[in-house]
Amino acid sequence: MRPDPAPTEPIEEAVQRLRAGGLVAFPTETVYGLGADALNPLALRQVFALKGRPVDHPLIAHLAWQADLQELLAPWAALDPRAIELGEAFWPGPLTLVLPRAPGLPDELTGGLPTVGLRVPDHPVAQELLRAFGSALAAPSANRFGRISPTLPEHVREELGEQVLILEGGPCRVGIESTIVDLSGGRPAILRPGSITAAQIEARVGPLAPSSTTRAPGTLAGHYAPRTALRLSADPQAEAARLAALGLRVAVLAPLDPESYASALYAELRRLDAEGVDLLVAGLAPEEGLGLAVNDRLRRAAFGSSGGSQI
């Protein structure tokens, strides 16, 4: 087996910052993450402070492909056959698994819960950084809490300015956050929908539980929100025309096929949010597969925006 290539200069600078307890924004296939040493409580507190994030919200630990999980999980948890099956099927990729945590992990990482969320991102820059760092990185989305997640490096700059080093990796391919699957109880349960669907999970581990009480990131009623009020409509063009007739300035986010919609969603919300209109009107995706995840983000964005309504 050939050794991993030597880190590039930006990666070396990023690793130095992370080892000194600093923060680094980096791309994944889902969104750009705000990275910090997952085992350094002081670094994790900086993440919460910079984002304005509630401290009881757990973070997701990002890992290099085939990294050792033992420092993060309860001694038996890494042997969970369901975790092995899902990890082999979907890692690297947009899947987070929630499992019983190792006893020594910082509460800042886990939100004080007896569980920890793990993910292996599928992006070459993220993997190069994780291999060079040699340990797990906590990496919530690199934006202010509750706002639209970043899928381009300029989105991170708009949100956080020059407060963190940004590793550039182009646009995020998937465009919405990972599917989160809770494996800490009996039957698995999806805590947050994503591009890996319930049907794909059930094909590997059997029927899912209808719900779980385990806390997970990105599941508040209001999240991913633009500053402009957002309204959802089954017919966004007709709704926009009706509102324009009332004298409102309206921008429309028309639905695409689910994969394209997911990939473009946050960038389009940001673009339309900057147009200075009174209201955004967005169409829903089909209520199946990836469309469920797109609509989940739209409904939370509408709830979190200033006066947006939803259907």
**Mean pLDDT rounded to a whole number for the chain:** 94
Other CB atoms within 10 A of residue 271 CB:
12
Q: Is the pTM of this model over 0.85?
A: yes
Best CA proximity match to 64, nearest among 85, 106, 35: 35
Q: Could you read off the pLDDT of 3-22 as tens digits, one per residue?
A: 556 667 899 999 999 999 99
Q: Could you read off the pLDDT of 214-261 as tens digits, one per residue?
A: 999 988 888 999 999 999 999 999 999 999 999 999 999 999 999 999
Alpha helices in the chain (DSSP H): 9-19, 41-51, 81-90, 107-110, 124-133, 153-160, 198-205, 236-245, 258-273, 290-304
- Of all residues in the chain, the percent with pLDDT exceeding 70 is 96
pLDDT at 309: 45
Please indicate whether the domains covering 9-205 and 229-304 agree at the CATH topology level: no
Domain extents for the chain? 9-205, 229-304
Quick one: 9-205 is in which CATH superfamily?
Answer: DHBP synthase (3.90.870.10)
Long-range contacts, stretch 75-84, CB < 8 angstroms, 24+ apart:
75/102, 76/100, 77/101, 80/183, 82/183, 82/188, 82/204, 82/205, 83/183
Q: Position of tokens 């200069």?
A: 9
pLDDT at 1: 39
Average pLDDT value for residue range 173-183: 98
Polymer length in residues for the chain: 311
pLDDT tops 60 at residue 307: no
Q: Could you read off the pLDDT of 145-174 as tens digits, one per residue?
A: 999 999 999 999 999 988 899 999 999 999
Output DSSP code: residue 147: B
Q: Could you read off the pLDDT of 33-55 as tens digits, one per residue?
A: 999 999 999 999 999 999 999 99
Q: Does domain 229-304 have CATH number 3.40.50.11030?
A: yes
